[in-house]
Amino acid sequence: MKGLGNILIEGRVEDAQKYFENAVGSWPVAEPGNPVGIGVGTNLQGVLDHFVNEDPSGNNKYLMWMIKTYINEESTAPFEITSVVKRFHKNLDRLTPAFIMNMDVNFGPDSRIITSPKNIDSYNDLDTLERVMDEMDAVQTKKEKEKEAKKGVDKLYEDDRWLLVKPNTYEGSCYYGSATKWCTASKDYPKHFEDYSKKGLLFYIIDKTKDVGDFFKIALFKKWNGDEEWYDRADNRLEGSTVKAIESLLPLELTNAIEEEYVGGVPDKDESTLTLEQFKSNLNTYILNLPRPITISTETGKWELEVNSTGNWEWAGQDPRVELIATPFYEGNEDMSVYFRTDDDDLGQPALEYRDYYGLQELSTEYLGPGPDYQFNYLSTDPNTFRPYQIEKAFISQIYIPLVRRALKNEELKDYTGLDYTTWDSQSYVSSYTFKYPPKQGGMTQLFTDYLKDNPRSTPNQFYEDVLGRPRPRAHNNMFFAAIKDSGIVKMERQGRQFVYSLGPNYDAWTQGKLLRRGRAYGQPG
């Protein structure tokens, strides 16, 4: 039986989703012309998930307020809202009627902010809430700020001139990084500090005399792989002779303190990281435990992945003469070979042969890769960072499959197999529509496409009236209309103040059975 707390949380999430969907008129992707002006194609489910995950109350107490604020305030990003709400939650204990009345802001004697300052619904908009939070920060005494900041740093060295600190908290980083442009000391976005802290150690070197001009504050970032990055207070990267000149000014005891702290802080490699062979083993385990094989759709048809007994990753398609082998990190190697060959011709030679290599640095994206240089390290063993096999799934879908797909789009392969499909992508990761041909008789796909043959440039509302014999309920079947538009079976155009549909550029390919959805629903690889 679920506890009362869980029931309350689930109820709040459900209510917030209903409110969100009713306000926008579509779900889970914002459609053109929605009544609240949300950007076309916005992942509404993703926005809701962000607010649910980032709500600092622990029970989604602020969720509905954040949803309403996002809807009412165009161009306000979700993280901007959650950032202010987190400040509000952190300062709840200090939010008293007396504090509000002493603020240099006139809310009016009848304002709910004065009578109920701890209730977030008392604040009509984000600007008002942020003004109150800014006022709270302003009235906090210098002594209080110093006390809070000192708790968040390790003071490693200090003499009459030099101060060396290692910030351990965002607050400590902001305090000792004041008067700089370091992103790790940005008061608007703590994530930068958090990201750096995962990849190495930060040190702030401060010249209390300011005899070195603009270099009186220096940030040193020592990565876990041993690389160093030096920055002046304007956040300019320092190199070569400049770094050496600064190092020559520093006391030996200070530089020794940096090295001692770094050596003592380097994670045990055996415990903190996987080898490539271990990661490859995790990939195999993930694939073998999937409920169904991974498939991808390309211009040369559908392909299915199998991991054979020798550990090779083999892709089989509709033409039995062709097999592709693409095994990442085979036997722990730092690369991947993508290879296919066709059956031999009359002379005993392969009619077509293809091979490509990708090194370790190419087996990455901007955010995902091996080692601490990436936001998400796929060799990390941190159980708190990723859900089980989530990182393996991300590697396959974001890195591995795009490289395999590149090989399978080979023009010579198209010519050899005679296979030439049209592919499409859904804007919604939760949509399960694939639009196989022929469609189910009497289903929406068959009825809608047949209607558009004789009635081009029609609206869904007209289709409901003419074919289904009833008015279309608000936002009814929005996901279907969005998906069939994404497929190219139909196209959508603006006509005055409404959007009309006609048969689209991929209609013929669909009726020939040559239209395939590239991605899989619900974030599955493929």
Q: Which domains does the chain have, with CATH numbers?
A: 4-139 (no CATH), 145-266 (no CATH), 276-417 (no CATH), 423-523 (1.10.10)
The DSSP bridge partners found for residue 153 are 167
pLDDT in tens, the chain (526 residues): 344 456 667 788 899 999 999 999 988 888 888 888 888 888 898 899 899 989 999 889 999 999 999 998 876 888 889 999 999 999 898 888 888 877 766 676 667 888 899 999 999 889 889 888 888 877 665 667 677 777 889 999 999 999 999 999 888 898 899 889 898 888 766 767 877 877 789 999 999 998 888 799 999 999 877 889 999 999 999 998 999 999 999 999 999 999 999 988 776 555 567 888 888 888 988 888 888 889 888 888 899 999 887 788 999 988 888 888 999 998 788 889 888 877 665 555 666 778 888 999 899 998 899 988 888 888 887 654 555 678 888 899 889 999 998 888 888 888 888 888 999 888 876 677 889 899 989 889 999 999 999 999 999 999 999 999 998 887 788 889 989 999 999 999 988 888 999 999 999 999 999 999 886 533 344 5
The DSSP bridge partners found for residue 167 are 153
Nearest 5°: CA angle at 230, between 229 and 232?
145
Q: How far apart are CA 354 and CA 11, in angstroms?
A: 55
Q: How far apart are CA 472 and CA 469, in angstroms?
A: 9
Nearest 5°: CA angle at 492, between 524 and 520?
5
Helix, strand or coil, per DSSP, at residue 274: coil
Q: How far apart are CA 164 and CA 216, in angstroms?
A: 12
